[in-house]
């Protein structure tokens, strides 16, 4: 068998050919000054900053959220006490999809995979005793982003924290919801409008806030390969830029506040190449295509989450090794912040022990591995540079296809809307997911413990214990909120919100008014669904 | 032994608001490639909608994917809805997703015949179906 394996041409995880040896000939067309430049300089291939981790280590940002706001607030404080330096919120499915905790479809999911937020009162509890002007907060919310950000801004205001001091992120990547994560509420057009409302509002009133975290992570979790993850993420980013330009915002006014979010799989060099290609592509797109002039508009910065879908139930402690490899790749690729998924993720949301391990993985990489001692250590590798070029070229193939689906002054924006409507992106990803599964089932792709090297006897993990009473508690809290407010104020605020939607105005001012009147998330989203229509899963496979 | 059934019809769906649909779409393709007829209802459907569709479509198999942890709440409602329509004994009920070991037996007691945790091979599922769908369906009239 060993002899037979030598005959096989090697491929990266995403199917790119990998040669046994790379030489200077592989970089014959590469101009190092033009294509790489110095770290912190255009086209930022080597990193967004000149000194990278020598200046400041990446932010250790483990996402967390479960049960009630109080329970999650305790976890945040645990993480902050154990070496974390940023907060990332995970909302439950009802919150992500814009339903209140007492909605029929919410049964069994309230607070289950994230924290339940129904009104601004819950948002206030979530950040109890956490200084909002000091800790950066990432709100992982998309179609209802305007409502949750509105609640967060309202809490900040009540605490006397000036909006200019807030330096968090709202995910607000509405387009990827149709082919990644799938927590959509509204159709592609209206949800893109809301994304752009946030960009516009924050550019004027919350200047240090990151307005969109343009996300490939969920696309990858849905089974795309690295090239598709890169291509669709960049295309989403271009669609947001075009939508903001169409709104009349100058490119350099909003582009510096866009950030990115990628996943990280097991193929170390392919992942590093993906991140480096992403930076170079974005820099050139922003400069050449959208005529940005500030370097901050061109330099791509990103958060990484190691992929839960790579984690196995079999021998779960093996997942610590997978998380370490993936985290290493993210750091070698120059990530600005990192979440290492819990080794028990194939069973449930992570236990405290698993999160402690994930943070330790990050700390060991930071302080023991030596990989942070120099900037972009893999630059100049014949293999990595060559793979970076190939991934970039392959990604452009998809982006050009999307552009061909569009028209007019903003062809990527219209092309993305059309690619979503026709199910093109969804089918491409589903095809990759299926092919990957077939490779695992045939044994062509080895997954240790799953299809080879299975061990006898299963380890029993101490898993996260969910408290089922929290759903009832949350429903009680919601009823209490509804009972303690002025119905006339709520009605009037929701009717203003509706009018703003009908008039195609920026919805943030009326959302803030409704938040202040203690309108619930579900009520605000229902108002929007009334005007824009509800998006229903087309069930493409 | 009965002859292998033909024209097996499978209904797939995701209950609740859970958006993790990578697995069920892979399974949908695998079952289609194995020669089965697949009806995929998509996400965000209720147990009643699944049972009603199972009845109307006269399916052999109902396959549910749940990665939200809500299976112990939603599956009893599904089996009850199938029972109310008197089809629980006629369909093969399969559940996949993030199902802890300890929940397998209680699910089986509710009437779920096959439980397939994340990572399960699709071949295991198609084999399970062909081994357990007892009635052969008549070929469609042309």
CA distance A203 to A283: 21
A148 touches A129 (CB < 8 A):
no
Q: Work out how many CB contacts closer than 8 A connect A with B.
A: 108
> What is the distance in angstroms between the Cα of A241 and the nearest Cα belonging to chain B?
27
What pLDDT sits at residue A461?
82
Residue with tokens 């397939």, as numbered in its chain: B116
What pLDDT sits at residue B139?
45
Domain contains B63? yes
Its sign, for the CA torsion A97, A98, A103, A109, is positive
| B48: number of Cβ within 10 Å | 16
Q: Identify the segments of chain B with pLDDT beneath 50.
A: 1-2, 136-142
Helix, strand, or coil (residue A170):
strand
Domain contains B2? no
State whether residue B123 sits within 8 Å of chain A by CB: yes
State whether residue B49 sits within 8 Å of chain A by CB: no
Name chain A contacts of B19, Cβ cutoff 8 Å: 93, 96-97, 181-183
Q: Which of these, A244, A213, A217, lies nearest to A230 by C-alpha position?
A: A217
Name chain A contacts of B20, Cβ cutoff 8 Å: 182
State whether residue B4 sits within 8 Å of chain A by CB: no
CB contact (8 A) between residue A313 and residue B122: no
Return the residue in A94, A100, A108 with the most chain B beta carbons within 10 A, the one to mutate for interface testing: A108
Domain contains B34? yes
> What is the distance in angstroms between the Cα of B87 and the nearest Cα belonging to chain A?
24
Nearest CA in chain A to B101: A347
CATH number (domain holding residue B34): 3.40.50.280
Nearest CA in chain B to A181: B19
Name chain B contacts of A434, Cβ cutoff 8 Å: 25-26, 29-30
Name chain A contacts of B38, Cβ cutoff 8 Å: 541
CB contact (8 A) between residue B68 and residue A106: no
State whether residue B43 sits within 8 Å of chain A by CB: yes
User: What ipTM describes this predicted complex?
Assistant: 0.91
Name chain B contacts of A313, Cβ cutoff 8 Å: 117-119
pTM across the whole model: 0.95
State whether residue B21 sits within 8 Å of chain A by CB: yes
Domain locations along chain A: 6-60+171-442
Name chain B contacts of A539, Cβ cutoff 8 Å: 40-43
Domain contains B4? no
Nearest CA in chain B to A462: B100
CA distance B95 to B93: 7
What single string gives the DSSP state of each residue in A188-228?
HHHHHHHHHHHHHHHHHH-TTSB-EEEE-HHHHHTT--HHH
Domain contains B29? yes
State whether residue B39 sits within 8 Å of chain A by CB: no
Name chain A contacts of B75, Cβ cutoff 8 Å: none
Name chain A contacts of B48, Cβ cutoff 8 Å: none
Domain contains B138? no
Domain contains B48? yes
CB contact (8 A) between residue B68 and residue A107: no
Name chain B contacts of A181, Cβ cutoff 8 Å: 19
What pLDDT sits at residue A78?
85
Helix, strand, or coil (residue A293):
coil
Name chain B contacts of A228, Cβ cutoff 8 Å: none
Name chain A contacts of B57, Cβ cutoff 8 Å: none
What pLDDT sits at residue A5?
52
Q: Considering only the beta carbons, identify the residue of A314, A437, A458 that sits closest to B26.
A: A437
How many independent structural domains does chain B possess?
A: 1
Name chain A contacts of B123, Cβ cutoff 8 Å: 441
Q: Considering only the beta carbons, identify the residue of B17, B42, B100 that sits closest to A109.
A: B17
Domain contains B15? yes
> What domain range includes position B15?
9-132
Nearest CA in chain A to B19: A182
Q: Identify the segments of chain A with pLDDT beneath 50.
A: 1-4
Query: If you classify domain A6-60+171-442 with CATH, what class do you get?
Result: alpha beta
Name chain A contacts of B100, Cβ cutoff 8 Å: 347-348, 463
Beta strands in A216-318 (DSSP E): 258-264, 302-306
Return the residue in A65, A92, A94, A107 with the most chain B beta carbons within 10 A, the one to mutate for interface testing: A107
> What is the distance in angstroms between the Cα of A171 and the nearest Cα belonging to chain B?
17
What pLDDT sits at residue A264?
98
CA distance A424 to A538: 12
Query: What part of B 56-115 touches A (C-beta under 8 Å)?
Result: 68-70, 72-74, 98, 100-101
| A254: number of Cβ within 10 Å | 23
What pLDDT sits at residue A167?
87
What pLDDT sits at residue A6?
55
Three-state SS across chain B?
CCCCCCCCEEEEEEECCCCCCHHHHHHHHHHHHCCCEEEECCCCECHHHHHHHHHHHCCCEEEEEECCCCHHHHHHHHHHHHHHCCCCCCCEEEEEECCCHHHHHHHHHHCCCEEEECCCCHHHHHHHHHHHCCCCCCCCCC
Spell out which chain A residues touch chain B, with contact meaning CB-CB distance below 8 angstroms: 93-94, 96-97, 99, 104-109, 112-113, 181-183, 221-223, 309, 312-314, 346-349, 430, 433-434, 437, 440-441, 450, 458, 463, 466, 536-539, 541
What pLDDT sits at residue A458?
67
Name chain B contacts of A97, Cβ cutoff 8 Å: 17, 19, 44
CB contact (8 A) between residue A537 and residue B42: yes
CB contact (8 A) between residue A93 and residue B17: yes
Return the residue in B10, B15, B19 with the most chain A beta carbons within 10 A, the one to mutate for interface testing: B19
State whether residue B26 sits within 8 Å of chain A by CB: yes
B10 touches B129 (CB < 8 A):
yes
DSSP label at residue A53 = H
Q: Considering only the beta carbons, identify the residue of A96, A346, A537 that sits closest to B119.
A: A346
Residue with tokens 């000939």, as numbered in its chain: A25
């Amino acid at each position: 068998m060993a002899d037979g394996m030598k005959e096989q041409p090697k491929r990266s995880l995403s199917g790119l050919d990998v040669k046994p040896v790379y030489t200077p000939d592989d970089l014959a067309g590469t101009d190092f000054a033009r294509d790489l430049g110095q770290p912190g300089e255009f086209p930022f291939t080597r990193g967004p900053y000149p000194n990278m981790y020598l200046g400041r280590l990446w932010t250790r940002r483990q996402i967390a959220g479960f049960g009630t706001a109080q329970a999650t607030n305790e976890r945040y404080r645990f993480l902050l006490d154990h070496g974390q330096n940023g907060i990332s919120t995970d909302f439950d499915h009802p919150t992500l999809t814009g339903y209140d905790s007492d909605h029929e479809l919410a049964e069994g999911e309230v607070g289950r995979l994230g924290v339940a937020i129904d009104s601004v009162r819950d948002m206030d509890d979530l950040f109890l005793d956490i200084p909002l002007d000091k800790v950066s907060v990432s709100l992982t919310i998309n179609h209802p982003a305007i409502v949750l950000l509105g609640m967060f801004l309202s809490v900040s205001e009540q605490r006397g924290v000036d909006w200019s001091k807030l330096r968090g992120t709202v995910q607000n990547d509405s387009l990827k919801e149709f082919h990644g994560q799938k927590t959509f509420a509204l159709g592609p057009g209206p949800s893109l409008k809301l994304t752009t409302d946030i960009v516009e509002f924050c550019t004027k009133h919350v200047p240090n806030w990151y307005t969109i975290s343009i996300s490939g992570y969920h696309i990858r979790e849905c089974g795309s390969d690295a090239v598709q993850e890169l291509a669709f993420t960049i295309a989403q980013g271009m669609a947001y830029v075009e939508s903001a330009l169409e709104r009349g915002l100058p490119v350099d006014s909003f582009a510096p506040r866009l950030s990115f979010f990628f996943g990280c799989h097991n193929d170390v060099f392919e992942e590093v190449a993906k991140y480096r290609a992403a930076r170079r592509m974005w820099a050139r797109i922003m400069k050449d295509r959208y005529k940005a002039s500030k370097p901050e508009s061109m330099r791509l910065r990103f958060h990484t989450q190691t992929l839960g879908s790579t984690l196995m139930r079999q021998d779960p402690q093996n997942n610590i090794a997978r998380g370490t490899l993936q985290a290493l790749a993210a750091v070698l690729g120059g990530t600005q912040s990192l979440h290492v998924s819990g080794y028990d993720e194939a069973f449930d949301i992570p236990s405290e022990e698993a999160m402690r391990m994930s943070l330790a993985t990050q700390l060991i990489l930071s302080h023991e591995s030596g990989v942070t001692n120099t900037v972009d250590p893999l630059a100049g590798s014949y293999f990595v540079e060559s793979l970076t070029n190939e991934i970039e070229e392959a990604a452009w193939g998809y982006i050009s296809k999307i552009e061909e689906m569009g028209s007019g002054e903003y062809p990527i924006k219209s092309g993305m809307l059309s690619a979503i409507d026709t199910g093109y992106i969804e089918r491409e990803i589903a095809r990759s997911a299926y092919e990957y599964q077939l490779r695992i089932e045939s044994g062509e792709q080895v997954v240790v413990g799953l299809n080879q090297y299975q061990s006898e006897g299963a380890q029993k993990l101490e898993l996260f214990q969910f408290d089922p009473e929290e759903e009832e508690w949350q429903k009680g809290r919601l009823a209490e909120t509804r009972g303690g407010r002025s119905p006339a104020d709520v009605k009037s605020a929701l009717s203003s919100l509706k009018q703003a939607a009908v008039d195609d105005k920026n919805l943030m001012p009326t959302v803030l008014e409704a938040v202040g009147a203690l309108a619930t998330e579900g009520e605000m989203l229902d108002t929007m669904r009334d005007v824009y229509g509800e998006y229903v899963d087309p069930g493409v496979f | 032994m009965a002859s292998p059934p033909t024209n097996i019809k499978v209904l797939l769906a995701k209950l609740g608001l859970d958006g993790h649909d990578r697995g069920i779409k892979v399974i949908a393709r695998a079952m289609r490639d194995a020669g089965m007829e697949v009806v995929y209802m998509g996400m965000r459907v209720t147990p009643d909608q699944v049972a009603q569709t199972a009845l109307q479509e006269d399916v052999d198999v109902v396959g549910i994917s749940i990665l939200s942890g809500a299976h112990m709440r939603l599956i009893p409602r599904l089996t009850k809805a199938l029972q109310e329509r008197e089809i629980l004994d006629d369909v093969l009920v399969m559940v996949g997703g993030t199902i802890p070991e300890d929940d397998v037996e209680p699910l089986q007691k509710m009437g779920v015949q096959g439980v397939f945790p994340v990572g399960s091979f699709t071949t295991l599922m198609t084999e399970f179906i062909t081994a357990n769908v007892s009635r052969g369906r008549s070929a469609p009239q042309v």
